Structure 1
Amino acid sequence: MNLPLLTIALILVHLAGLAAATHAVMHTRTPQGAFAWALGLALLPWLTLLPYLYLGRRRFHGYVDQHRRHRRQFDHAREPVTLSHDPSCARYAALCNMLHTTFHPGQQLRLLVDGDATFTAILDAIAQAEHYVLVQFFIFHDDGLGRRMQQALLERAAAGIDVCVLYDGIGSHALPRHYVDTLRAGGVTIHPFATQRRHTRFQLNFRNHRKIVVVDGAQGFVGGLNVGDEYLGLAPPLAPWRDTHLAVRGQAVADLQRSFAEDWHWVTGTLPPRRSPPPGQGTAHTLIVATGPADLQESCSLFFVTVIHAAQRRLWLTTPYFVPDHAVTAALQLAVLRGVDVRVMIPSRPDHRTVFLSSTLHAYNALRTGIRVFRHQPGFMHQKVLLVDDDTAAIGSMNLDSRSFRLNFEIAALNVDRAFAGDVETMLRNDFEHAIEIDKTEYEHAPWRRRLAMHIARLFDPVL
């Protein structure tokens, strides 16, 4: 009696696998990804069907169409701004065209090196809010820093200030319900982000990886840090934790606010409070780069390609996950051939072992083309910083991996300003002084089992 039922079940699973394989061929963005999914779904559907439902889904259940419709509405409703005509920004014109936005001149920037500086600045700004606070992080933890943030938000809400908070449902999967309930009870409007109306913790793709804070429309923060003690270097074994954030004043804050508003409107159907930023009192030209899988192009990958191609003398970048796609890899190699000083800094300790193994193999391949690769010491390095020549620096949430390129919603600030680039250069020179430059022996002298593990890990690049 059980055998026929088992046979029928296997036949149904194989038929479902073939249907999913057809879907993968039609909808997966890259040929490599389509081939991998189709092969696995056709031959081993009992192993790959469930992962494909959660990892390989390309449709957002209406999110893409609504996202683009909302973006057009925001574009039409945008107030006139002062546009930048600085010739030093002209080499990034393709980004402006792709993102339908522009550089803002006169921005005032402050580099926030490490978690203490970042959250001191953010919590001070929140404490001084007079109208509203917008907060968006990938991760909230119910720990020391998480409770400090919670208390700061509750105090502003008790003072009659509008407080709007977004967190990612997967990034903050460990956040206890009472943390959110306490904020809601205290007058804070808080929601998890998901691209599907029917939220599920198993939807691992299309996560919102952005980190944004806006206070009264006048001051904004963007960068790589989340809300948790590990970002202050208080959680071994990854401590000390190296990360970087950015404080912005000027019209670029309106674009940070706009990115938050788009995500907020999708989740709640309403718009958060908004005020026009006062004119900036600085010297920087700033472009807010908000990217995501709902964009017409692979905007995050194209961002890196454009900025890398702009480098003529120097390109230094730091990333915790070095899993570049073919386009970014080719751009880095061409930069070396142009005579550009290309340096990549990656961690010496893993927080995700599969990504670390794949990154190690990519580092070896990069070394063979003349790219210099450094491992940060000590602790874990999580910062996402890019320095081009003597005048351009970018700070944001974007990693050099397929998850940032194609699967996550990301944001960064691209800044053209010699003084600010000088600050970033000083910061990175200090990082490089404490880093170890690696060579080919890291891979070539590794035990064969570890080298095999690296190559196996690379097979998962499309979802890392």
Structure 2
Amino acid sequence: MSPLFRNKFKVLKNGEIFYPRIAEVISQARRHIEIENYIFEPGQVADWILLQIRERLQQGISVKLLTDRIGSHRTPRKTFRLIEEAGGDFKWYRPLSWRTPLWFNNRNHRNLIIVDDQIGFMGGAGISDRWLTGNRHLPRWRDTMLEVRGHLVPVLKNAFEDHWWEATHHHLFSAHSKSNPYSNSSLSQDNEAIIIKSGNSGQSTQNSGFIFRRLIQNARKCIFVTNPYFLPGDPMTSEIKKASESGVMIKVVTAGKHADHPFIRWAARSHYSELIDSGVEIYEYTPTMIHAKTMMIDD
């Protein structure tokens, strides 16, 4: 792992690497485990993770699991009752209801795992065999997870607490929620690593867009982007073009013929020409569905 302002990071590439590591860390939990994800599907990976969770619960360790109702619609409720019967807490994030029709497209796409407030995982992968074995039609998805230790772990916990409160109206009141100086995830001269939390208002989207545009504006040598849904808005497109025309090398890898949402690929392709004309190199990943979301600037 590489230190960055009292944090340590480890890049975990693809399910055959990150799932065993996640299971190992869960098996070593001593106090509590929080899991938040969009996709939790029955299969080998789910059975593996659930086994580790049940063993931890039998030892009296607190487990909280928050899963998006749309992303995990294939998973029967009884799967999670096994966790509840063993003493764990499970909640759907924004279950469908005629009372809240606007929730349908306002989903929770986070993939977070926090263990003992010491180790966190975040990235693009949920709990599903699509990231480990794939299926007869498609090899396992290409994705990246990040293992984190240090001051950013309480920020992940704080992000989890926000959505847990929304789903349950119960605060976890972790020790870090009030005292962690990095919980607001703001930029400062002292912060070399931040996490930009999403939220229920448009403010978080504006914040993340502002920060990404600033990063692009400050690039001097290169920008490497991996994003399966590469569909930047006009302000971001403008900054990317300016950076490329100023001499910054920009390469983008996005989903190709195996895209899980073809209509997004079609929409994205309509913007390729103006970016390519400005010097941006765009590549579509063809071996399988690429789901990683990363950006590297100036090495």
Match 2:168 to one of 268, 285, 295:
268
Match 1:325 to one of 208, 217, 233:
233
Match 2:37 to one of 120, 131, 137:
137
Aligned to 2:83: 183
Q: Which amino acid aligns with 1:143?
A: G
2:145 paired with 1:237: no
Give me the whole-angstrom Cα distance separating, in 2, the residues matched to 1:369 and 1:233: 39
2:125 paired with 1:222: no
Give me the whole-angstrom Cα distance separating, in 2, the residues matched to 1:238 and 1:305: 35
Give me the whole-angstrom Cα distance separating, in 1, the residues matched to 2:199 and 2:136: 32
Aligned to 2:291: 382
Aligned to 1:294: 201
The alpha carbon displacement at 1:307 in A equals 2.0
Unaligned 5+ segments in structure 1 are 1-103, 279-283, 391-464
Give me the whole-angstrom Cα distance separating, in 2, the residues matched to 1:274 and 1:380: 37
Match 1:358 to one of 267, 288, 293:
267
In structure 2, the residue corresponding to 1:286 is in which secondary structure? coil
The alpha carbon displacement at 1:302 in A equals 2.4
Give me the whole-angstrom Cα distance separating, in 2, the residues matched to 1:184 and 1:129: 18
Give me the whole-angstrom Cα distance separating, in 1, the residues matched to 2:255 and 2:97: 37
Residues 285, 195 of structure 1: alpha-carbon distance in 2 compared, 3 angstrom cutoff = farther
Give me the whole-angstrom Cα distance separating, in 1, the residues matched to 2:244 and 2:294: 19
Q: Which amino acid aligns with 2:199?
A: G
Q: Which amino acid aligns with 2:64?
A: C
Give me the whole-angstrom Cα distance separating, in 1, the residues matched to 2:47 and 2:144: 21
Post-superposition Cα deviations, 1:242-290, rounded to whole Å, max 9, x if no partner, equal: 1001001101101000000111112112223635599xxxxx9321111
Normalising by the residue count of structure 2, what TM-score does the alignment of the two structures yield?
A: 0.87
Give me the whole-angstrom Cα distance separating, in 2, the residues matched to 1:149 and 1:388: 34
Q: Which has the larger radius of gyration?
A: 1
The alpha carbon displacement at 1:179 in A equals 0.7
Give me the whole-angstrom Cα distance separating, in 2, the residues matched to 1:360 and 1:239: 24
- In the comparison of the two structures, how many residue pairs are matched? 282
Post-superposition Cα deviations, 1:185-204, rounded to whole Å, max 9, x if no partner, equal: 12110101129997768832
Give me the whole-angstrom Cα distance separating, in 2, the residues matched to 1:345 and 1:142: 30
In structure 2, the residue corresponding to 1:105 is in which secondary structure? coil
Q: Which amino acid aligns with 1:289?
A: I
Give me the whole-angstrom Cα distance separating, in 2, the residues matched to 1:333 and 1:253: 35
2:274 paired with 1:369: no
Give me the whole-angstrom Cα distance separating, in 2, the residues matched to 1:233 and 1:252: 31
Q: Which amino acid aligns with 1:303?
A: I
Normalising by the residue count of structure 1, what TM-score does the alignment of the two structures yield?
A: 0.57
Maintained 8 Å contact 2:31/2:61: yes
Give me the whole-angstrom Cα distance separating, in 2, the residues matched to 1:199 and 1:124: 41
Match 2:250 to one of 339, 342, 347:
342
In structure 1, the residue corresponding to 2:287 is in which secondary structure? coil
Maintained 8 Å contact 1:106/1:285: no
- The RMSD of aligned alpha carbons is 2.3
The alpha carbon displacement at 1:291 in A equals 2.1
